[in-house]
Structure 1
């Protein structure tokens, strides 16, 4: 790591005698993060002098850089179509996730469709160099955006509606798609933006990859709902080719794999996450990924004894022995992290202690590239396992009703001698290269005052140093995105735009058309404002004639309940087609507009309906993840 220029102490006296001129950051610079320049206050270097509000760290340039092993890892995802056996082709490098083409006697089967239609059209162009047969089927291996959002790069909605093309998936995929985007969409969008570093400038993306694939590309998110689904397994013939489908929950609850018995090819989806330690937990946030279930799924894959394995991230694996080795080593790594975490949990260790105790043994940690920590890490997996079994409470009752964060920070800073001493210690830690401690100390001052420029600068610079050194892409992206937030580049409208843009990948307008009325109305339950509804007891019925469904939302003094069907005696009703609801969900129309134009039939007192609708909070507000 690069440290500050060693002449800073010698220059301190000179800098104390007169103000330094600030060096502005050129916002039009093609590499804005190449220069992080601020006024230097020598007061930081003199413990006996108070730190003024405008104090700053010494001038320095933090050059964007990348961990050498992570940079080398990028070569793994060079654009290339790999041929496997006689009729399977894997396109690596165009999308975050691979797309696989299976050439069957009567047509083509495409497995997973990438994150955007634009990129997937490029993949189809490559596939068309190999075969001009018609596409007969699409397979979604699971619901994550990088596996389904590019579907219209391969087929059209008309082809699917006519039956020319069938889309296969596990039966819960559609529910997972809409629940993910509708229920926790705002916070998931923001956190995903940080995990994938979507706002980072080009300088921070140079030579980078996404751990399990190339960096994702911007583009249009498309979606067509599955036409054929199954629960546990499906043995069938598609376009004249025998295929076995198997549900193997692991990285996703609806994960499925395909086995081609004719040439012993296993398309392993993301049960193996390709050339990286699997993400047993994802920092963006997800429901508990049970390592025991994941290990069992890997053992099911081993039972195929396949000659070839085609993961949906990274390069294919050839040879029965090599396939077994990769599956076994991946299985053993996940099992080891789980088993040793549980072992030490049962000795009373807490998460902060467990992460220091549980480490992969050398033969697993060094299994390159499949178990290197480019995407998942042992440390953040251990914490999820603890919480999955025991929840947030670690056993010390001090955590049952802790001192509120701002009050705690205020007391600690006062006890440590005040802001000046805390930031002096933080600055000194930074200058010594102790970036974690510098960030932690600065965080106390920020908790008290979000506008403390010096504290934010110390923490931001510390995060840049930690991020550029990290081999793990999730950690790197969180460090650098958080640094941008601390520097004022991801606040307010910028934060809101980021959340909304990323959320579109999880619930695009085309996905919204598949949103059941139940899911739409269920989302209202979590939007109820208890203060506005404290004295309200009203029920509003929703009638959808075109799909023959009726639902009702009851507001009961701060609580909302969704009813299937409309309770007897309900006087407030809105009647409109589900097709109109789709336009409401997409933002094209509104309920009030529909009532005025006749698209929505209103029964009951309009003032009561207005009171009912006023009980809900649909405002989208910027989310700060670091400035807390």
Structure 2
């Protein structure tokens, strides 16, 4: 009997020279799930947990929990979930407990699964009238702006891959999101905070004393709430829930400093709380149990950080570090809090290296590498051509060496994105890797990329997915709260130097309803934002901020407003059109795998 590798070689050698659509032997790869990941789903069964005598946590309705504090004179809602429809169900559950009015909402940090469902609990009018306060860290709004406006296009696509947004129902069976049930894709709601603080805030709300503390960790604006009377600690995502914390998120984020995160966990330990209410996963009761979870979590993060730095200082690079740094059994086996359902040691190690040293690993060959397609062409030629590369990839696949099969077939795809056999091998390899993965982020990226390779996720579908995901980061409610400055700052990274290299123009913007003036100066491919309109500026648009909100949402445009009288124009309309032509606001489909 021939070994599998020999069978693959014979099949491929017979078909490759004859037809460009040759494929591996037929194989049905059925959807499956890592058994431990499937078991983890039970952790998120829907339930409202009562903690002490006046705190409730709704677990299992959506990715993030919603907590409710019943104060003497009303309710305090801690986080609002990502979905208004699911949060309304939660509020209905809370209403079975109490009919007291909502007096305050707390955003523990700026991520969509903690703020997007706010209008399920309160209205804009209640907040505007002062009936309800919204409390957050002083930087929350700026973080919402940066997330939605600055890197929204790429973040939306990458988030779609991280959360498996386009996967079919079969790939979602028995699944969870590592830190909660699968997220609900829904347009977001938002109401801006009315009370913010920097480091800490001790206050009284609805007749109850509360302590707030800024504890940067999973997010830079993370805050926790402590109820001293009954020793309840609402720990937000400092304690991320039933998983190894995501020291880095694959969808993309700024550096999450593990040292700062560990310090924040130690601040939580200092409370010696009797009860802990994370905003992902189940609450923990008993002082010793709370201490254990916090201590083990901080030790897991600290171990990954410390050992990464230790081996960095011996010269190891990221590809070497991920093989060297591994959690010891007493940490790796601490279920569920240090199991790799959401974060992994390997992608955390890479982030720590880049956070300290950046992308350059010390070999000057990386300073000016060959372009990826040129490199692939040379390597494929060196290996004997496409047929031999794909024969080797087919051998690797049949031997179960799926990573190597994917890497080899990737070289052929670099040379021809439409190579059917190369795409088939890589897609099958990703499906095998994805279905075996216990980590939800890795699983989703493998399976989404497989769909892209299989032609089940074309440019238009990716664009539609991105627009759907974008609504979670940038809704009409959020846009209304954005300062005019944010809209104009977004133009800076949109300048097209091919169109602007010979342009030197300044366009002023006057917003009489808010008493602000700004100007954008195009200076041969570079754009500078000015507060105020520089003397001598001949081009100016005058419009209300309320009209600008409709421009930001896409309902209207500046030129349309000029023609209809909503925007007053000073100066040459032709020059203004030339100015506007310097910017690229198109959003072409983004391919993450077929490159």
- Does TM, normalized by the shorter one, top 0.5? yes
Distance 2:553 2:535 in 1: 31
Match of 2:381 in 1: 414
Secondary structure class of the residue paired with 2:135:
strand
Distance 1:43 1:539 in 2: 67
Instruction: Give the CA deviation at 1:299.
Output: 0.5
Distance 1:236 1:548 in 2: 33
Residues 564, 11 of structure 1: CA spacing in aligned structure 2 closer, same or farther, 3 A cutoff?
closer
Match of 2:416 in 1: 449
1:587-609 deviation per Cα after TM superposition (whole angstroms, max 9, x unaligned): 11100110011100000011110
Match of 1:165 in 2: 132
| Residues 16 and 22 in structure 2, CA contact (< 8 A), matched pair in contact too | no
Alignment TM-score, normalising by the size of structure 1? 0.93
Match of 1:275 in 2: 242
Q: Does 1:626 align with 2:593?
A: yes
Q: What is the aligned residue count?
A: 595
Could you tell me which of 502, 506, 512 is aligned with 2:479?
Answer: 512
Match of 1:474 in 2: 441
| Residues 250 and 291 in structure 1, CA contact (< 8 A), matched pair in contact too | yes
Match of 1:91 in 2: 58
Could you tell me which of 204, 209, 228 is aligned with 1:261?
Answer: 228
Match of 1:435 in 2: 402
Q: Does 1:605 align with 2:572?
A: yes
Instruction: Give the CA deviation at 1:46.
Output: 3.4
Residues 49, 557 of structure 1: CA spacing in aligned structure 2 closer, same or farther, 3 A cutoff?
closer
1:269-310 deviation per Cα after TM superposition (whole angstroms, max 9, x unaligned): 000110000000000000000001000000100011100000
Residues 428, 167 of structure 1: CA spacing in aligned structure 2 closer, same or farther, 3 A cutoff?
same
Instruction: Give the CA deviation at 1:11.
Output: 13
Secondary structure class of the residue paired with 2:448:
helix
Q: Does 1:232 align with 2:202?
A: no
Distance 2:274 2:456 in 1: 50
Distance 1:522 1:44 in 2: 57
Match of 1:306 in 2: 273
Secondary structure class of the residue paired with 1:541:
strand
Could you tell me which of 79, 87, 106 is aligned with 1:112?
Answer: 79
Residues 49, 58 of structure 1: CA spacing in aligned structure 2 closer, same or farther, 3 A cutoff?
closer
Query: Pairwise mapping of residues 392-407 of structure 1 onto structure 2 (< 5 A)?
Result: 392-407=359-374
| Residues 12 and 22 in structure 2, CA contact (< 8 A), matched pair in contact too | no
| Residues 140 and 147 in structure 1, CA contact (< 8 A), matched pair in contact too | yes
1:453-489 deviation per Cα after TM superposition (whole angstroms, max 9, x unaligned): 1100100000000000000000000000000010112
> After TM superposition, which residue ranges in structure 1, 4 or more long, deviate above 3 angstroms?
6-12, 41-52
Distance 2:185 2:15 in 1: 52
Instruction: Give the CA deviation at 1:47.
Output: 7.5
Instruction: Give the CA deviation at 1:363.
Output: 0.4
| Residues 435 and 462 in structure 1, CA contact (< 8 A), matched pair in contact too | yes
Match of 2:550 in 1: 583
Residues 8, 344 of structure 1: CA spacing in aligned structure 2 closer, same or farther, 3 A cutoff?
closer
Residues 240, 617 of structure 1: CA spacing in aligned structure 2 closer, same or farther, 3 A cutoff?
same
Could you tell me which of 231, 242, 256 is aligned with 2:209?
Answer: 242
Structure 1 runs not aligned, ≥5 long: 1-5, 13-40
Instruction: Give the CA deviation at 1:218.
Output: 2.7
Q: Does 1:315 align with 2:279?
A: no
Match of 1:131 in 2: 98
| Residues 44 and 55 in structure 1, CA contact (< 8 A), matched pair in contact too | no
| Residues 12 and 23 in structure 2, CA contact (< 8 A), matched pair in contact too | no
Could you tell me which of 6, 10, 28 is aligned with 1:61?
Answer: 28
Distance 1:167 1:463 in 2: 44
Distance 1:622 1:51 in 2: 34
Instruction: Give the CA deviation at 1:432.
Output: 1.1
Could you tell me which of 327, 351, 375 is aligned with 2:318?
Answer: 351
Match of 1:220 in 2: 187
Residues 8, 581 of structure 1: CA spacing in aligned structure 2 closer, same or farther, 3 A cutoff?
farther
| Residues 43 and 55 in structure 1, CA contact (< 8 A), matched pair in contact too | no
| CA RMSD, 1 decimal | 1.5
Instruction: Give the CA deviation at 1:116.
Output: 1.2
1:84-131 deviation per Cα after TM superposition (whole angstroms, max 9, x unaligned): 000000000001000001000000000000001101000000001111
1:177-231 deviation per Cα after TM superposition (whole angstroms, max 9, x unaligned): 0111100000000000000001000000000000000001133311111111001
Q: Does 1:502 align with 2:464?
A: no
Distance 2:284 2:209 in 1: 22
| Residues 108 and 114 in structure 2, CA contact (< 8 A), matched pair in contact too | yes
| Residues 80 and 113 in structure 2, CA contact (< 8 A), matched pair in contact too | yes
Distance 1:246 1:327 in 2: 16
Secondary structure class of the residue paired with 1:513:
helix
Query: Pairwise mapping of residues 173-188 of structure 1 onto structure 2 (< 5 A)?
Result: 173-188=140-155
| Residues 429 and 435 in structure 1, CA contact (< 8 A), matched pair in contact too | yes
Distance 1:615 1:49 in 2: 48
Match of 2:497 in 1: 530
| Residues 550 and 566 in structure 1, CA contact (< 8 A), matched pair in contact too | yes
| Residues 43 and 49 in structure 1, CA contact (< 8 A), matched pair in contact too | no
Instruction: Give the CA deviation at 1:395.
Output: 0.3
Instruction: Give the CA deviation at 1:380.
Output: 0.1
Q: Does 1:121 align with 2:110?
A: no
Distance 1:51 1:356 in 2: 42
Secondary structure class of the residue paired with 1:466:
helix
Distance 2:4 2:212 in 1: 67
Match of 1:28 in 2: none
Distance 1:358 1:200 in 2: 32
Distance 2:306 2:516 in 1: 48
1:498-554 deviation per Cα after TM superposition (whole angstroms, max 9, x unaligned): 111101101111111111111110010000000000100000000000111111000
Match of 2:306 in 1: 339
Distance 2:293 2:578 in 1: 60
| Residues 511 and 545 in structure 2, CA contact (< 8 A), matched pair in contact too | yes
Residues 578, 127 of structure 1: CA spacing in aligned structure 2 closer, same or farther, 3 A cutoff?
same
Instruction: Give the CA deviation at 1:52.
Output: 3.3
Structure 2 runs not aligned, ≥5 long: none
Q: Does 1:554 align with 2:521?
A: yes
Instruction: Give the CA deviation at 1:50.
Output: 3.2
